[in-house]
Protein backbone atom coordinates (compact mmCIF):
# COMPACT_ATOMS: atom_id res chain seq x y z
CA UNK A 1 0.00 0.00 0.00
CA UNK A 2 2.78 2.47 0.89
CA UNK A 3 4.64 1.69 -2.34
CA UNK A 4 1.43 2.13 -4.37
CA UNK A 5 0.75 5.53 -2.82
CA UNK A 6 4.35 6.70 -3.33
CA UNK A 7 4.15 5.85 -7.03
CA UNK A 8 0.68 7.25 -7.72
CA UNK A 9 1.05 10.43 -5.64
CA UNK A 10 4.69 11.05 -6.60
CA UNK A 11 5.87 11.63 -3.07
CA UNK A 12 9.05 13.63 -2.66
CA UNK A 13 12.20 11.51 -2.68
CA UNK A 14 12.77 11.68 1.07
CA UNK A 15 9.35 10.05 1.70
CA UNK A 16 9.62 7.17 -0.76
CA UNK A 17 10.39 3.54 0.06
CA UNK A 18 13.80 2.15 -0.80
CA UNK A 19 13.07 -0.60 -3.39
CA UNK A 20 13.64 -4.14 -2.12
CA UNK A 21 15.97 -4.87 -5.05
CA UNK A 22 18.32 -2.15 -3.84
CA UNK A 23 17.94 -3.29 -0.23
CA UNK A 24 18.86 -6.83 -1.26
CA UNK A 25 21.99 -5.63 -3.07
CA UNK A 26 23.02 -3.60 -0.01
CA UNK A 27 22.52 -6.65 2.23
CA UNK A 28 24.60 -8.86 -0.09
CA UNK A 29 27.41 -6.30 -0.14
CA UNK A 30 27.33 -6.03 3.66
CA UNK A 31 27.25 -9.82 3.99
CA UNK A 32 30.32 -10.18 1.80
CA UNK A 33 32.28 -7.54 3.71
CA UNK A 34 31.30 -8.81 7.16
CA UNK A 35 30.98 -12.55 6.54
CA UNK A 36 33.39 -13.54 9.32
CA UNK A 37 31.41 -11.78 12.04
CA UNK A 38 29.33 -13.71 14.57
CA UNK A 39 27.56 -10.59 15.78
CA UNK A 40 27.40 -6.98 14.68
CA UNK A 41 25.61 -3.73 15.37
CA UNK A 42 23.90 -1.80 12.59
CA UNK A 43 22.47 1.72 12.38
CA UNK A 44 20.29 3.58 9.91
CA UNK A 45 20.41 7.27 10.90
CA UNK A 46 17.61 8.17 8.45
CA UNK A 47 15.52 5.00 8.48
CA UNK A 48 12.29 6.48 7.11
CA UNK A 49 9.72 3.68 7.12
CA UNK A 50 12.45 1.18 7.98
CA UNK A 51 12.28 -0.74 4.71
CA UNK A 52 16.00 -0.62 3.93
CA UNK A 53 17.06 -1.41 7.50
CA UNK A 54 14.73 -4.41 7.87
CA UNK A 55 15.70 -5.73 4.42
CA UNK A 56 19.39 -5.58 5.34
CA UNK A 57 18.81 -7.15 8.77
CA UNK A 58 16.87 -10.05 7.24
CA UNK A 59 19.49 -10.43 4.51
CA UNK A 60 22.38 -10.53 6.96
CA UNK A 61 20.75 -13.13 9.19
CA UNK A 62 19.88 -15.30 6.18
CA UNK A 63 23.17 -14.88 4.29
CA UNK A 64 25.78 -15.23 7.04
CA UNK A 65 23.80 -16.32 10.11
CA UNK A 66 24.97 -13.38 12.18
CA UNK A 67 23.41 -11.95 15.34
CA UNK A 68 22.38 -8.36 14.59
CA UNK A 69 21.69 -5.52 17.05
CA UNK A 70 19.88 -2.78 15.08
CA UNK A 71 19.50 0.91 15.81
CA UNK A 72 17.33 3.33 13.86
CA UNK A 73 16.85 7.10 13.87
CA UNK A 74 14.02 9.04 12.25
CA UNK A 75 12.85 12.61 12.75
CA UNK A 76 9.52 12.47 10.90
CA UNK A 77 6.56 11.52 13.13
CA UNK A 78 4.55 9.53 10.59
CA UNK A 79 7.52 7.68 9.14
CA UNK A 80 8.78 6.75 12.59
CA UNK A 81 5.41 5.24 13.52
CA UNK A 82 5.34 3.22 10.29
CA UNK A 83 8.89 1.98 10.93
CA UNK A 84 8.09 0.99 14.51
CA UNK A 85 5.04 -0.92 13.30
CA UNK A 86 7.06 -2.68 10.61
CA UNK A 87 9.67 -3.84 13.12
CA UNK A 88 6.92 -5.11 15.43
CA UNK A 89 5.16 -7.00 12.62
CA UNK A 90 8.43 -8.64 11.57
CA UNK A 91 9.31 -9.39 15.20
CA UNK A 92 12.67 -7.64 14.90
CA UNK A 93 14.06 -6.35 18.19
CA UNK A 94 15.66 -2.93 17.68
CA UNK A 95 16.45 0.32 19.45
CA UNK A 96 14.53 2.99 17.53
CA UNK A 97 14.82 6.69 18.33
CA UNK A 98 12.51 9.49 17.21
CA UNK A 99 15.06 12.28 16.85
CA UNK A 100 17.16 14.35 14.47
CA UNK A 101 20.37 12.46 13.68
CA UNK A 102 22.27 15.70 13.02
CA UNK A 103 21.93 16.75 16.65
CA UNK A 104 23.70 14.90 19.46
CA UNK A 105 22.26 11.38 19.63
CA UNK A 106 22.76 8.73 22.30
CA UNK A 107 23.62 5.89 19.93
CA UNK A 108 26.83 3.88 20.39
CA UNK A 109 29.37 3.37 17.64
CA UNK A 110 28.38 0.50 15.37
CA UNK A 111 30.00 -1.95 12.96
CA UNK A 112 27.75 -1.17 9.98
CA UNK A 113 25.71 1.83 8.88
CA UNK A 114 23.26 1.64 5.99
CA UNK A 115 21.02 4.47 4.87
CA UNK A 116 19.04 5.89 1.98
CA UNK A 117 20.21 9.39 2.77
CA UNK A 118 17.80 12.33 2.63
CA UNK A 119 18.50 14.86 -0.11
CA UNK A 120 18.30 18.63 0.08
CA UNK A 121 19.40 21.31 2.51
CA UNK A 122 19.49 21.08 6.29
CA UNK A 123 17.46 24.07 7.57
CA UNK A 124 18.96 24.73 11.03
CA UNK A 125 22.42 26.20 10.51
CA UNK A 126 23.24 26.49 14.22
CA UNK A 127 23.05 22.69 14.55
CA UNK A 128 25.93 22.12 12.11
CA UNK A 129 28.55 24.60 13.29
CA UNK A 130 30.90 21.76 14.31
CA UNK A 131 30.53 19.82 11.05
CA UNK A 132 33.45 19.88 8.61
CA UNK A 133 31.07 19.26 5.71
CA UNK A 134 28.90 22.31 6.39
CA UNK A 135 28.51 24.94 3.68
CA UNK A 136 30.64 28.07 3.90
CA UNK A 137 27.51 30.16 3.34
CA UNK A 138 23.83 29.35 3.71
CA UNK A 139 22.30 25.96 4.33
CA UNK A 140 24.36 22.76 4.04
CA UNK A 141 23.62 19.64 2.00
CA UNK A 142 21.91 17.25 4.39
CA UNK A 143 23.43 14.15 2.76
CA UNK A 144 26.94 15.55 3.32
CA UNK A 145 26.13 16.10 6.98
CA UNK A 146 24.73 12.59 7.32
CA UNK A 147 27.89 11.06 5.86
CA UNK A 148 30.00 12.89 8.45
CA UNK A 149 27.61 11.95 11.25
CA UNK A 150 27.73 8.32 10.11
CA UNK A 151 31.53 8.22 10.05
CA UNK A 152 31.58 9.57 13.61
CA UNK A 153 29.29 6.71 14.70
CA UNK A 154 31.23 3.92 12.98
CA UNK A 155 33.64 1.74 14.92
CA UNK A 156 37.23 1.73 13.65
CA UNK A 157 37.26 -0.20 10.38
CA UNK A 158 33.45 -0.15 10.26
CA UNK A 159 31.54 -0.13 6.99
CA UNK A 160 29.05 2.43 5.69
CA UNK A 161 26.80 1.68 2.71
CA UNK A 162 24.71 4.62 1.54
CA UNK A 163 22.27 5.54 -1.20
CA UNK A 164 23.40 8.96 -2.40
CA UNK A 165 22.73 11.24 -5.40
CA UNK A 166 24.65 9.93 -8.41
CA UNK A 167 26.07 13.42 -8.91
CA UNK A 168 27.36 13.64 -5.33
CA UNK A 169 30.96 14.24 -6.47
CA UNK A 170 30.00 16.62 -9.30
CA UNK A 171 28.41 19.46 -7.34
CA UNK A 172 30.13 22.70 -6.38
CA UNK A 173 30.12 21.53 -2.75
CA UNK A 174 31.89 18.25 -3.61
CA UNK A 175 35.34 19.73 -2.89
CA UNK A 176 34.59 20.19 0.80
CA UNK A 177 33.13 16.67 0.98
CA UNK A 178 36.21 15.12 -0.64
CA UNK A 179 38.47 17.15 1.63
CA UNK A 180 36.63 15.83 4.69
CA UNK A 181 36.86 12.24 3.43
CA UNK A 182 40.66 12.39 3.31
CA UNK A 183 41.98 10.99 6.57
CA UNK A 184 38.50 9.96 7.75
CA UNK A 185 37.26 7.18 5.44
CA UNK A 186 38.29 4.95 2.57
CA UNK A 187 36.15 5.13 -0.55
CA UNK A 188 35.61 1.42 -1.18
CA UNK A 189 33.14 1.62 -4.04
CA UNK A 190 30.51 3.54 -5.98
CA UNK A 191 27.78 1.62 -7.83
CA UNK A 192 25.67 3.71 -10.20
CA UNK A 193 22.11 2.35 -10.16
CA UNK A 194 19.98 2.05 -13.35
CA UNK A 195 18.03 5.09 -14.46
CA UNK A 196 14.82 3.08 -14.90
CA UNK A 197 14.59 2.71 -11.11
CA UNK A 198 13.99 6.44 -10.76
CA UNK A 199 11.42 8.97 -11.94
CA UNK A 200 14.00 11.13 -13.72
CA UNK A 201 17.74 11.55 -14.18
CA UNK A 202 17.95 14.15 -11.42
CA UNK A 203 16.58 11.60 -8.94
CA UNK A 204 19.10 8.90 -9.88
CA UNK A 205 21.08 7.45 -6.98
CA UNK A 206 24.22 5.39 -6.43
CA UNK A 207 25.43 3.04 -3.71
CA UNK A 208 28.41 4.56 -1.91
CA UNK A 209 30.62 2.23 0.17
CA UNK A 210 32.91 3.77 2.79
CA UNK A 211 35.18 2.28 5.47
CA UNK A 212 36.17 4.08 8.67
CA UNK A 213 39.90 4.65 8.85
CA UNK A 214 42.06 3.33 11.68
CA UNK A 215 45.76 3.72 12.35
CA UNK A 216 46.56 0.34 10.78
CA UNK A 217 44.09 -0.82 8.16
CA UNK A 218 44.45 -2.67 4.90
CA UNK A 219 41.80 -1.73 2.39
CA UNK A 220 39.19 -4.40 1.74
CA UNK A 221 40.15 -4.42 -1.91
CA UNK A 222 40.64 -1.96 -4.72
CA UNK A 223 37.84 0.56 -5.04
CA UNK A 224 34.93 -0.67 -7.14
CA UNK A 225 33.20 1.62 -9.66
CA UNK A 226 30.22 0.06 -11.45
CA UNK A 227 27.58 1.59 -13.70
CA UNK A 228 24.25 -0.25 -13.98
CA UNK A 229 22.54 1.13 -17.08
CA UNK A 230 19.42 -1.01 -16.83
CA UNK A 231 17.45 -2.73 -14.09
CA UNK A 232 18.23 -6.17 -15.56
CA UNK A 233 21.94 -5.45 -15.05
CA UNK A 234 21.27 -4.74 -11.37
CA UNK A 235 19.31 -7.98 -11.04
CA UNK A 236 22.15 -9.88 -12.69
CA UNK A 237 24.60 -8.30 -10.22
CA UNK A 238 22.28 -9.32 -7.38
CA UNK A 239 22.39 -12.93 -8.65
CA UNK A 240 26.18 -12.70 -8.92
CA UNK A 241 26.48 -11.52 -5.32
CA UNK A 242 24.15 -14.28 -4.14
CA UNK A 243 26.26 -16.83 -6.02
CA UNK A 244 29.34 -15.58 -4.18
CA UNK A 245 27.53 -15.83 -0.85
CA UNK A 246 26.47 -19.44 -1.56
CA UNK A 247 29.96 -20.57 -2.50
CA UNK A 248 29.28 -20.83 -6.20
CA UNK A 249 26.25 -23.11 -5.84
CA UNK A 250 23.53 -22.93 -8.47
CA UNK A 251 20.76 -20.49 -7.62
pLDDT in tens, the chain (251 residues): 444 434 444 445 544 556 778 898 899 889 888 888 899 999 999 999 999 999 999 999 988 889 999 999 999 999 999 999 999 999 999 999 999 999 988 899 999 999 999 999 999 999 999 999 999 999 999 999 999 999 999 999 999 999 999 999 988 889 889 999 998 999 988 888 887 777 777 778 999 999 998 765 555 544 554 454 555 555 666 665 555 445 544 33
Using alpha carbons only, give the angle 188, 14, 52 rounded to the nearest 5 degrees: 55
Task: Please give the domain boundaries of the chain with CATH numbers for all domains.
Answer: 19-43+51-70+108-245 (3.40.50.150)
pLDDT given at position 3: 42
Q: Which of 157, 151, 159 is nearest to 184 (CA)?
A: 151
Q: Indicate the average pLDDT of the chain.
A: 83
CA distances from 78 to 116, 122, 154 (A): 17, 19, 27
Total-model pTM? 0.84
Q: How far apart are CA 146 and CA 180, in angstroms?
A: 13
Rounded Cα distance between 130 and 133, Å, is: 9
Amino acid sequence: MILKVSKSDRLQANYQLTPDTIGDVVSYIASGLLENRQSLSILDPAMGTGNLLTTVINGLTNNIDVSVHPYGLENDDAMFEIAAGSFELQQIQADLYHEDAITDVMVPKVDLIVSDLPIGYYPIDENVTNFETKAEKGHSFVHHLFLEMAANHLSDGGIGIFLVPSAIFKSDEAKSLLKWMQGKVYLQGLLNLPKDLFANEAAQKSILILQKLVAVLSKLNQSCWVNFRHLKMLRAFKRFLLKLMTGGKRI
